[in-house]
Amino acid sequence: MAQQHRPIRGEHKYEQVITSVEEHEERPGRSLITTDHEVIRHWAEERDAHPAKVPGTEHEGRPGVLRFDFPGYGGEDLEEISWDDWFRTFDERELNFIFQEHKKDGSQSNFFRLESPYREDA
């Protein structure tokens, strides 16, 4: 597998930086940011989410738009991919993982987005 952690690129003044699974939000509802593979995988596995891509968005045989497939949620058709493929694409595109552990009311949050410091959309 590729590296486990790389520096976060771009501005991140509104998010709390998380670099290990031992670190947690300062308060419920806080936006967090990481590039750490273990943190991302732990977050997804706590929610029974699987690494996935949006079919038809591939570039030169590589996954295009990365997502997580959460059980019980409909929406766009997602294709499950390996963690290795997901993280390889994540690292090659130098993405940041922005997420929440809990909503403001303390309940578990599934909110996440992938951010490219070089583009408006990821």
What gap in Å lies between CA 120 and CA 102, rounded to an integer? 25
Please name which of 100, 45, 89 lies closest in space to residue 68, comparing C-alpha atoms. Answer: 45
- The percentage of residues in the chain with a pLDDT greater than 70, rounded to a whole number, is 83
- For 85, phi and psi rounded to 5 degrees? -65, -40
Query: Would you state the structure tokens that stand for residue 69, as one six-digit string?
Result: 């497939």
User: What distance in Å separates the CA atoms of residue 6 and residue 115, rounded to the nearest whole number?
Assistant: 14
| Total residues belonging to the chain | 122
At 46-55, the pLDDT tens digits run 999 999 998 8
pTM above 0.85, yes or no: no
Decide if pLDDT at 122 tops 90.
Answer: no
Give all strands (DSSP E) within the chain, no chain letters: 16-17, 32-34, 50-53, 66-69, 79-80, 96-99, 112-115
